[in-house]
Amino acid sequence: MANTWWEIQVLCDPALEDLIFWRLEKFGCRGTSIEVKGHSYLVCGYLSTLQAQLLDLAALSLWLRQDALNVGMPMPVMDWHLIDEEDWASSWKQYWQPQEVGDRLLIYPAWLPPPAQSERLTLRLDPGAAFGTGTHQTTQLCLEALEMRLGMGTPDIVVADIGCGSGILSIAAMLLGADKVYAADIDPMAVRATHSNRELNKISPDQLIVEQGSIDRLMQLLHEPVDGILCNILAEVIIDLIPQMTQMAKPSTWGIISGVLLEQAKPIADTLEQHDWIVATLWRRQEWCCFNIRRS
């Protein structure tokens, strides 16, 4: 049989949307999508059959039910079936349409004809198998915070993007006025997606530098501390990265951190404070939050 994929379908209460996205991503799903079904949401994720067997999918179903119980919400219904490579590559795209984020950005799927004109900054994107389409709450929070940080016209801003995924935050930073962005991700698929999206948006490789690796690799690339730090990954990983984020900062450096559930916010805030960061604002969207931080 040709390479096949599991299409995982989760019918859920709308309030569970972000928690289910998080669980599917943590499980390894690629190219998640969402569709409104009456008063419910149908969330889909795609997983190679090389990565999961039937017992793994049964365990995922139990985790999703447990997640819902923990927050006192109705339990979702999960189903799965096999699709081939071609169907996987196109099935989730039909649900993803251009999306305005904040006051200035328009996230635009690469496979649609470019807009004739727009008053917004158009960020063309094909995420491929990488996280970051602009639909997830954490990405939207980061984009809105980034717009605020880069909306003051300060010249020569250098930004580091830790865990760049599709490159959406890095590219948005460039469009909003950053002079240079250093980006890294441990996933080679993410690095390829960021390279591709950099080219799609006609950004020079000298301005958006992308490498495979984590914060250690970024620190090797940097010649001096950065002005801004972006980090939209999982909370438990962020806590481990904060000491190294401090090493790449100067007294005026700001940061935007997300990928954090509200219940995980306190240990993040405590760790930031221990390393001389101030939480300037904490933005919330449903069960997720975004830290806007600066040096103390």
Q: Do domains 4-94 and 127-295 have the same CATH topology?
A: no
- pLDDT at residue 87 tops 80: no
> What's the pLDDT tens digit per position in 216-255?
999 999 989 999 999 998 888 899 999 999 999 999 999 9
- In the predicted structure, residue 203 carries a pLDDT above the cut 90: yes
Separation CA 271–CA 273 (nearest Å): 5
Amino acid at 281: T
pLDDT at 280 over 90: yes
Which sequence spans correspond to the domains of the chain? Answer: 4-94, 127-295
Q: Is 184 helix (H, G, I), strand (E, B) or coil?
A: strand
Mean pLDDT of the chain: 88
Q: CA nearest 162: which of 250, 223, 248?
A: 248
Pairing, β 288-295 against β 249-261: antiparallel
Q: Per-residue pLDDT tens for 149-167?
A: 997 777 899 999 999 988 9
- Our CA angle for 234, 237, 240, nearest 5°, is 150
Whole-prediction pTM: 0.73
Mean pLDDT of 122-140: 80
CATH of span 127-295: 3.40.50.150
Of 103, 134, 154, 147, whose CA–CA distance to 232 is shortest?
Answer: 134
Fold of the domain spanning 4-94: Alpha-Beta Plaits (3.30.70)
The pLDDT, as a whole number, for residue 234 is: 82
